[in-house]
Amino acid sequence: MAQLWKGAPVAAALTEELSQRAQALVAKGITPTLAIVRVGERPEDLSYERGALKRCEKVGIAVRQYLLTAASSQTDLMEVIEEINRDDSIHGCLLFRPLPKHMDEAAICAALSPAKDVDGITAGSLAAVFSGSGAGYPPCTAQACLEILDHYGYELKGKRAVVVGRSLVIGKPVSMLLLGRHATVTICHTRTADLPAECRRADLLVAAAGKAGAVSAQCLASGQVVLDVGINVDEDGNLVGDVDFAAAENSVEAITPVPGGVGAVTTSVLARHVIEAAEKAIG
Ligand code: NAP
């Protein structure tokens, strides 16, 4: 039976450390503050927002919400981003994406001050992830994968990692973070010729496809560690990952559950980035 690598203990350990750092900032007269920018009311954004609000409250981070309707214009959103950039009392910004189709997402992301880019959406932050320079903040979900591996004592050096998904939000940045820790990384996608064969060779399998069942029983092998990043709703309305969980439970070494796995750690990483940004702001 596979070990369940839950996110809650990882998040709890991070929260305790972050609360102390938040208190130290408050003692210096700084309230670490996150701006949340949401356009429209997509259920997945609302769900992540609830988690982020709860986590920030636990840590001691103030949140300012900027809520725009889905019909808002590019100019409306740009004005909000510029206001956040100008406001020295805001240390980080979380912008929910994808933005509505009538908006130029690349231009909006590029407008955010790199110092406040706590979710790795600007080209500069992503370049830092790819160069391994350590400047900027990696996308929170990608970093959450590393936090889980570290918490459960998984040594990455020399391991064969296979990542399913190549988005700029998860697949590519998590691949670069794993490479930076000396794993040998293969990135798979919808045009991969034989996904099961690629996946079966993995010591560490990271599923970030956004499709229930994309990582089937044929992709799994004994001894594997599986991080299931996917968040999908199945035909019965249940939240499920990308991995055939029933098959994984009986074959792999360890797997993160959905819900309660990677997602539970992502908001803690976000909180840590806000604290770091506030610490940097006071020098
Ligand atoms: P995305 O932009 O849709 O990218 C999905 C990637 O997976 C694409 O590269 C796609 O390949 C690949 N893919 C899709 N179906 C596949 C299949 N059957 N076989 C192989 N590759 C496949 O999604 P995303 O933004 O990266 O998000 C991925 C998942 O993570 C979603 O379920 C999302 O809800 C979840 N998520 C979780 C968290 C968290 O905190 N746990 C946070 C954010 C998102 P192509 O490039 O060839 O199209």
pLDDT band at 7 (very low <50, low <70, confident <90, very high): very high
Contact 140, 147 (CB under 8 A): no
3-class SS of residue 211? coil
CA distance linking residue 253 with residue 112, whole number of Å: 41
- Are the beta carbons of 263 and 47 closer than 8 angstroms? no
How many angstroms separate the CA atoms of 203 and 242, rounded? 18
Give the model confidence (pLDDT) of 102-151 as tens digits.
999 999 999 999 999 999 999 999 999 999 998 899 999 999 999 999 99
Determine the atom of ligand 1 nearest the C-alpha atom of 266: 40
- Per-residue model confidence (pLDDT) at position 237: 87
Phi-psi region of 111 (alpha: psi -120 to 50; beta: other; left: phi over 0): alpha
Per-residue confidence band for 44, with pLDDT thresholds at 50, 70 and 90: confident
Residue 5 has pLDDT above 90, yes or no: yes
Q: Which ligand 1 atom lies nearest to the CA of residue 171?
A: 26
Q: Kindly report, residue by residue over 190-240, the tens digit of the pLDDT.
A: 999 999 999 999 999 999 999 999 999 999 999 999 999 999 988 898 999
pLDDT at 16: 93
Mean pLDDT of 177-183: 97
- Using the atom order of ligand 1, give the atom closest to the CA of residue 258: 41
For ligand 1, atom 13, name the residue with the nearest CA. Answer: 209
Mutate to test the pocket of ligand 1, among 46, 49, 170, 262 (most ligand atoms within 8 A of CB): 170
Instruction: Over range 237-261, report the average pLDDT.
Output: 96
Q: For residue 82, what pLDDT is reported?
A: 98
Ligand 1 pocket (Cβ < 6 Å) reads 141, 164-167, 169-171, 188-192, 195, 208-211, 214, 229-232, 262-263, 266
Helical packing angle, 140-151 and 262-281, nearest 10°: 110
Q: Report residue 29's pLDDT band, with 50, 70 and 90 as the boundaries.
A: very high
Contact 34, 270 (CB under 8 A): yes
Rounded Cα distance between 226 and 243, Å, is 9
CA of 231 to the centre of ligand 1 (A): 9
Q: How far is the centre of ligand 1, averaged over its atoms, from the C-alpha of 164 (Å)? A: 8
